[in-house]
Chain A
Amino acid sequence: MLFFIALVCATFTLAGTAANAAETPTKLYGVITGSTDQPLSGVRVSIVGPDGFTAEVKTDARGAWEIAIPIKGTFSATINEGDLPSGQALTDPLKGTVKANVFMLGVDLRLLFPIGPGVAKASLLERSAQLIVDGLILGLIIALAALGLNLIFGTTGLTNFSHGEILTFGGLLTYYFSAIAKFPVLIAAPLAVLLSAFISGFLQDRYLWKPLRKRGTGLIAMLVVSIGFAIFLRYLFLFLFGGDTRQLPQYAGQAGLELGLVSITPKSILTTAIGIIFITSATLWLLRTRMGKASRAVADNPALASASGIDVQKVIQAVWILGAALAGYAGVIVTVNQGVSFLMGQDMLLLIFAAVTLGGLGTANGALVGSLIIGLFVQLSTLFIPTELKYVGALIVLILILIVRPQGILGRKERIG
């Protein structure tokens, strides 16, 4: 998560402008998040150090805590497990106390408390039920982004590594309209989706990818262009927005509803329901409308589609607009429920690719199936493996499936080797 920030910091020191902070205190800090990366606020962390140093801090609305340490030595930070909400607990009961060795002042240390669905508090059945719900929601978010990625791949052959940034952009727009322009979320979110469709979809295709297609730029060259574009956008977002994860002020600390075995917030229910409507309409559009059918024809054989009177460029434009709107809405869901950061698209990108590859590159329904499998797998795997390794499990499954069935679950069986 903090990778790029770390890289930026690392390269700062690289350039020879090394630490000038001889007397500045060291900061111990961390962000405490729960099983679905939601921030946990009001959790107390107590710190004990040499010379009778003791202190206690509480996490804020972002789940973040920090404390300045003026002296060197070994410190231990202990999380107050009683403050964790129900259903959340340390994944390893022994990791409730973390040691930090401050051997140089001015060098900040980040401490981690791995937290997952409570082992001690919830039964296996409850945990599984909660994880299935979490997994389906994650699957939906992935599916919203994956559908566009897959359609664009199908119609233009572009493996778009900057697709995650469409998601981030949707989230940032939501944050801008909601937190800065002070619109209610119910207005900010549709605005964000519309602007995503226009800017990330229409404008991006019109002024970046369409000219490249016209020049006859090859597919691998375009793939590399999309990587450069993703890096450019990511740091532009960091430049404009800063490196922290921010919550929308509205509905920030909404309490979860207890529905049978699971707990789920109203905002999560609403955003998910709208997401399901979106994705169903998009699928129906693909299957039933003239344009949707045309897009599948273009995906199948662009030359033949063009010869039979389909306006290929127009179809590609429609696909970009639809794909960007869906991915933008995926960003809205993440922002409303977990907060927005400039890295959120990058964090999702590999899961999106995994879902698309799993379902079969270029097949629309494959992306849906793949996304749900990845979403469920990521969440349910935390029953058996540490939460922090949940993405690793999903990526390993991706590789395993490709060995057995390289064309993906719903992919057409043609030669792809």
Chain B
Amino acid sequence: MDILFIIQQTLSATLGVNAIIFALAAIGLNMHFGYTGLLNFGQAGFLAIGAYSVAVPVISFGVPLWIAFLIGIFNSILFALLLGIPTLRLRADYLAIVTIAAAEIVRQIARSATFNEWLGGSDGITGKFGKDFFDLNPFKAGINTPILRFNGNDLWVVLTGWTLVALITSIMWIMVNSPWGRVMRAIREDEDAVRSLGKNVYLYKMQSLIIGGVIGSMGGFVYALSRQSVQPDNYGTALTFFAYTVLILGGAARVFAPIVGAMIFWFLIVFIEQVLRAGVTSNLIPDWLIGVNQVGQIRFMLMGLGLMLLMIFRPQGIFGDKKELTLDAKA
């Protein structure tokens, strides 16, 4: 068992691309769920729209990458409006069902053979659409130390990604501590009270949905760029659920929760997976119990179990305040 390798893999994942993607997705959800109380289960749809908006225009229409980012933001605003107009008047559990359905619609359309020509069907799109972005990379050699390893492209994504996360988190901090943010929290606690003060609750909820959605779609940008490919099936319901796990792990309605949550989430996942894998390959865990190909399945089982236990025993997460957020303001 190579302990140093496990440490290297685990730390690289803790600071890695996936942690950034989930941090961005969870920051968006924090806006929706943590601050406004909207139970959006369609966050994967926003990420998918972000990812496809980067890949499709560049590959199929030769649009410059920087314009494609703008297209992505525009599309996610459009999706938020489409989603919000019918659903924001509904009760929390209805909203959950409709948003999950909407995200599935996005995924199924993206993977259908009908739009194969533009969206690539179930194989998705692979190509060098991020060339403009990676050309700017000053650290093409990457980094390879005993405890941390990234190749050149990943290092560039990681550096710019965490910068983006830091930027968005500061903006979030300013927003939620403004009068606007207080209205949001008031909506989460008691919608009718806010309405009686003459505020347009519907409009505020829509703003929350759009802002959180745009942040989520930026997670999609990172997802697409880091892989240089977009696979429709990566944007299924599980992505949304794990983004919620990240958020709840950190503590909903805390500005830094998504970042901490994403780091801990990926630390645990990769650490457990690497230990299991090392155990299986070195025959410490017998083959009849867990095969090499089954390590990933065990990992997902633990993720599900972890989400359950977290929700039962510590719904406020690691940093959350139970008094500020009772998860049931809406039910």
State the A residues within 8 Å of B (CB).
Answer: 2-4, 6-8, 10-12, 14-17, 92, 95, 109-110, 112, 114, 157, 159, 212, 215, 217-221, 223-225, 227-236, 238-239, 350, 353-354, 357, 361, 386, 388-389, 391-392, 395-396, 398-400, 402-403, 406, 416-417
Contacts and interface: CB of A to CB of B under 8 A. Distances in A.
Contact of B331 (A218, A361, A403): A218
A229 B98 contact: no
Contacts, number: 183
A20 to B, nearest CB: 12
B9 interface: yes
Interface string B244-284: 11001000000000000000000000100110010000000
Given A388-B113, A389-B112, A353 B328 contact: no
B207 interface: no
Contact of A157 (B12, B39, B305, B331): B331
Contacts of A212: 312
Given A159-B96, A224-B244, 17 more contacts: A7-B233, A11-B296, A12-B296, A110-B122, A224-B327, A225-B307, A225-B308, A231-B300, A234-B304, A238-B297, A239-B298, A350-B100, A386-B114, A388-B113, A395-B105, A399-B86, A400-B86
B137 interface: no
Contacts of A398: 97-98, 101
A392 B303 contact: no
Nearest to A385: B114
Interface of B: 9, 12-13, 18, 39, 85-87, 89-94, 96-98, 100-102, 104-105, 107-109, 112-114, 121-123, 231, 233-234, 236, 238, 241, 244-245, 248, 270, 273-274, 277, 294, 296-301, 303-312, 315, 326-328, 330-331
Contacts of A109: 123
A111 to B, nearest CB: 10
Closest 5 CB pairs of A and B: A231-B304, A218-B328, A228-B307, A232-B304, A228-B308
A232 B327 contact: no
A226 to B, nearest CB: 9
A238 B108 CA distance: 23
B312 A357 contact: no
A40 B162 CA distance: 50
Taking chain A's interface residues, is the majority helix, strand, or loop, or is none over half, making it mixed?
A: helix
Contact of B328 (A11, A220, A227): A220
A391 B104 contact: yes
A32 to B, nearest CB: 14
B104 A227 contact: no
A227 B307 contact: yes
Contact of A402 (B94, B236, B299, B312): B94
B104 A350 contact: yes
A270 B251 CA distance: 51
Nearest to B308: A228
A219 B331 contact: yes
B328 A229 contact: no
B102 A17 contact: no
Contacts of B304: 228-235
A271 B308 CA distance: 35
A396 B296 CA distance: 34
Given A220-B39, A239-B298, A395-B102, A416 B91 contact: yes
A403 B83 CA distance: 11
B4 to A, nearest CB: 14
Given A159-B93, A389-B114, A231 B311 contact: no
Contacts of A350: 100-101, 104
B109 A392 contact: yes
Contact of B301 (A3, A219, A236, A391): A236
A7 B238 contact: yes
Given A353-B101, A357-B97, A388-B113, A221 B273 contact: no
Contacts of A8: 296-297, 300
Contact of B311 (A6, A224, A395): A224
B105 A17 contact: no
Contacts of A218: 326-328, 331
Nearest to B126: A103
Given A159-B93, A220-B330, A230-B304, A235 B297 contact: yes
Nearest to A114: B113
A362 to B, nearest CB: 10
